[in-house]
Structures are given as C-alpha cells and as structure tokens.
Structure 1
Amino acid sequence: MKTKQIHKEMITIGNLHVYCEYVLNNKPPIILIHGFVSSTYTFKHIIPLLAEKFSVVAIDLPGFGRSEKSKKFIYSFKNYAKLIVECLNFFNLNKVTIVGHSMGGQIALYMAKYFPDKLTNLILLSSSGYLEKVKNPLFFGSYLPFSRFFLERYIKRKNVRSSVENVFYNHQLITEELLKEFQIPLMDKDFYISLLRLLRHREGDFTTEQLLEIQVPTLLIWGSEDKVVPVEIGNRLVTDLPNAKLITYEKTGHLLTHERPLKLYNDIVTYTSEK
C-alpha cells in the first residue's frame, strides 16, 4: 500500500491560526475532530489508512495542540462547529463524513444538528454524552484573577503517564513519543487560559430530546474497557439517535484510534460504502 503524502501546516480560519493535517485526492471527504486536551495526534495511525479511500482533513481545535490559544475565541461547541464549517469552506468541501472522538463527538453532533446539509455520515468514537454545563461556582470562579494559575497547578500535579494509561487498555502501546505529545500543551501558559474559557463557554451535551432531532446516519464505535466515557453512554446514544448503530471493540480503552486503527478503518469504510 503506497503511503499518501500528508500535508502538515498552519492555516488561517476565522482569523485564527489553526494547525491542520490533510490529504486531498478527489475522494469522498472525511473530517476528523479530536477530543479534550488532545490534538490531531489522536489520528496519527488512522490518517494514512483513511487516505486510501478518502480525502482527509484533521485540525487541532483552537486552544489545543499546535493551534492558536486565543484569548478572544468563544470556546463553545456551537462555535467549534461553525469553525469546522469554515474549514470545509477553506478546502472547498461539502457533503462530508465527520468523525469525532470524545469531546470531538459532541462537536460532531452540533455539526449534525445545526449544519446537517454539510454531512453525509456521522461517526462517533467514544463520544462525550449527557454531561451538563459547568455549575455556577466553577463558572464564576473561572473569572477570579488567579484562576489560571490554580488550574495550571492542578493539571501539572497530575502524572502524565498515569493520565495516558487511563485512556488505554493495552499499556504496551504507550510510547515515549505519545507521552511527549500529551505534554506539549502543558508547557504553554496560554493553554490554561483556553481551558478556563472552555469551562465558561461549553454548553452542556445534548439532551435526549435534542438527540432525537438529529437525522444524520450515525455509527457509534466504543471500547468495551473505556474508563473515560463508559460504553453505557454509547448504549444510551444509540437509543436516542434515530438513525444510529453501535459497534463495540473488546479489550479496548478510550483511545481506540491507537489501539484498533486497522479495525476502525475497516469499519468506517464498510459503513460509509453502505450509504
């Protein structure tokens, strides 16, 4: 299998500097959205596979990875969805398959609710679900003068390896490169400002009533050993989404893009080819 060239560059979308990895080859487009405190590195093993069948675009969401940590951007799911639409316009893409991992799954659902004409399929990987908006004490606390320093101290107290182990079932797949990638944003002081703004602006996840309104065909894929977003959330989502099916991977954790890239690729290709 010949490896397609993956372009990696900073682009400007909506006055924001956004890091992007993409392969454009006149094949059906697929957009990859990473989760909380993550980046395009989530899709490191699956982008080369997907490029055999799709034009692939993955970005670091503003506030994460190598993208701008803006102090003005409103870090809401709806604004992230609007930014993805601007990304589609930047690359002149339409009728796309959206793949969202973890928090990226909620952003993908916002795409499906507010911009359904842009989508052909929705694929949710261990998607966030049913979380409420932040409580008022934390919301107002985020405006305190030294809140950024408290957040930075709290996060840096956590051991990066133990945090990464929490998203894997098979710890043997954890590499030094992967640990380094997870550490990169922690060294940027503006990263913590972005997190505080996300804390303020993030809407709650969709309710059952809102999910029932989404008609985009949806594939849910979950790791049975997911400790971050348990498979029970997938079982609820597949019931609440009108046009959805669920696949579960045994002996797989939250970061299934690293643990089961080939199986994931095959399931995506099979699902999208049936539509």
Structure 2
Amino acid sequence: MNTTKQLIFLPGASGRTDFWLPLIKNLPKNISTQIIAYPAFGNEPAHPDIHNFEQLQCDVLNKIDRPCILVAQSMGGIFAVAAALKKPELIQGLVLIATSGGIDLSQFNVADWRQSYAKEFLNYPNWFITTKINYESQLAQIQQKILLIWGDHDLVSPVEVGQYLEQSFQNAKLKVIYGGEHDLAHRYAEQVAQEIVLYLSQLDMNLLN
C-alpha cells in the first residue's frame, strides 16, 4: 500500500493560503501538501492573462498536474469539482469544506456574504464573486469518493447545502463539525485533520479491495 498521499489545497474567496496552515500542521508527516494560490488574491501578484473567472479556473486546473486529493474551502470547491470533471484520471478524491460545489444556492437560506466581501477585499477582482458557473447537472458523473465537511453554525454555507451535495454525488459522506462556522477548517483544524486522515485510510481500503 502506498503510504504517501499528495493533497492539494484550494483556498476560498479570500485566496488566503495561510488559512490552511493549522490544518496542514495537524496532518501526518507522510502526507505531501501543496497550496494553490490565486493570482491577484491574497499576497499573490496578478497575472496579465487572467481577467475573468474562467481564465482563473483554467490557471488553477493547469497547476493540478499530478495524481492528488483536492481539499477545497468555500468557493474553491468550484475548482475542485471542475478538476474532477475535466481531469478525472488525476483526481483520486475530493474533500469539500463548507462549499457550494458549483450549485445554485438560491434554493437555500444562505447569508449574503458578497457585500461584506467587497468591502473587505477592495483590491480583489469583483468577477470572482459574481460568477454564475453551475455544475449541478454534472455532479452525478463524479465517481471519486468524496468527503464533505460542514459546520452546524455556518450561515454562508449551511448544513443543508452539504446534505444536498451528499445526495447529488455518487459516493459522498457528510461530516458535521458542531459549533463550526464558515472558517471551521482553520478554527477546528485538529478535528478536520482527523476526519481527513480517516477518509484517506478508507481510500486505501477501497484500493486494496
């Protein structure tokens, strides 16, 4: 059994790569990790050829160039789902945390985060929060085993969204972190790391069967 895993982390709309550091610190040392930064987000310089969400998604997918498990926060889940659809031969699994997964959230009672986001991140491209990309009709095509992690106090992506995704994917399991809000992967890093390690062990068992 191969004991080395490659985990690639996708930030949320803030683009903060340091968001993942507490979680990575709590993972076993035999797990290889990489964080993909988004040009023009966080401290990452802008790219002259990226002017819309589709171009950013293409850039992110180009950086996913090896067999890996994707771990995505919030809007980063859109990239993770796109990678699973477009590069299924490389994506060994998905861990989606408090994300939309590229579905229409209008059917859920979600808090409108876009106004506060626009005020906090004045220099960020506004097309990131106005994108309407929707993969809902394609979710059932994804065959990889998926771990969904939600917080029961998350107003941005409530547990109902996770429950809906659990039913939409072929092979998904929802784990709820009690007391967790939208930043649960950062604030409850140790508990989230335990869920990811358990998920990885289950992937290994599936490969052996």
TM-score in terms of structure 1 length = 0.63
- List runs of 5+ in structure 2 lacking aligned partners: 106-113, 204-209
**3-state DSSP class of the match of 1:269?**
helix
CA distance in 1, matches of 2:4, 2:56: 25
Q: Quote how far apart the aligned CAs of 1:125 are.
A: 0.3
Aligned CA RMSD, in angstroms, stands at 2.7
Counterpart for residue 83 of structure 1: 59
Contact residue 127 and residue 229 of structure 1 kept, 8 A? yes
Q: Quote how far apart the aligned CAs of 1:51 are.
A: 5.5
Q: Deviations over 1:119-147 (max 9, x none)?
A: 11100000124237xxxxxxxxxxxxxxx
Counterpart for residue 111 of structure 1: 83
Give the 5 Å matches for 1:183-202.
186=122, 191-192=123-124, 194-195=125-126, 197-198=127-128, 202=131
Q: Quote how far apart the aligned CAs of 1:199 are.
A: 5.1
Amino acid at match of 1:131: D
CA distance in 1, matches of 2:118, 2:57: 27
Count of aligned positions:
193
Cα pair distance change 1:199/1:126, threshold 3 Å: closer
Q: Quote how far apart the aligned CAs of 1:106 are.
A: 1.4
Contact residue 61 and residue 80 of structure 1 kept, 8 A? yes
CA distance in 1, matches of 2:187, 2:195: 14
Cα pair distance change 1:266/1:154, threshold 3 Å: closer
Which stretch of the first structure deviates more once superposed, 122-131 or 44-53?
A: 44-53
CA distance in 2, matches of 1:59, 1:237: 24
**3-state DSSP class of the match of 1:211?**
helix
**3-state DSSP class of the match of 1:36?**
coil
**3-state DSSP class of the match of 2:39?**
coil
CA distance in 1, matches of 2:34, 2:116: 34
Give the 5 Å matches for 1:240-255.
240-255=168-183
Q: Quote how far apart the aligned CAs of 1:28 are.
A: 1.5
| Percent of matched pairs sharing the same residue | 28
**3-state DSSP class of the match of 2:141?**
coil
Contact residue 61 and residue 79 of structure 2 kept, 8 A? no
**3-state DSSP class of the match of 1:274?**
helix
Q: Quote how far apart the aligned CAs of 1:248 are.
A: 0.5
Counterpart for residue 109 of structure 2: none
- List runs of 5+ in structure 1 lacking aligned partners: 1-25, 133-150, 161-184
Q: Quote how far apart the aligned CAs of 1:41 are.
A: 1.9
Counterpart for residue 211 of structure 1: 139
**3-state DSSP class of the match of 2:150?**
strand
Counterpart for residue 14 of structure 2: 37
Cα pair distance change 1:269/1:199, threshold 3 Å: closer
CA distance in 2, matches of 1:50, 1:153: 32
Counterpart for residue 71 of structure 2: 99
Structure with larger Rg: 1
Counterpart for residue 259 of structure 1: 187
Counterpart for residue 123 of structure 1: 95
**3-state DSSP class of the match of 1:272?**
helix
Q: Deviations over 1:221-256 (max 9, x none)?
A: 000110111111001000000111100011111111
Contact residue 223 and residue 253 of structure 1 kept, 8 A? yes
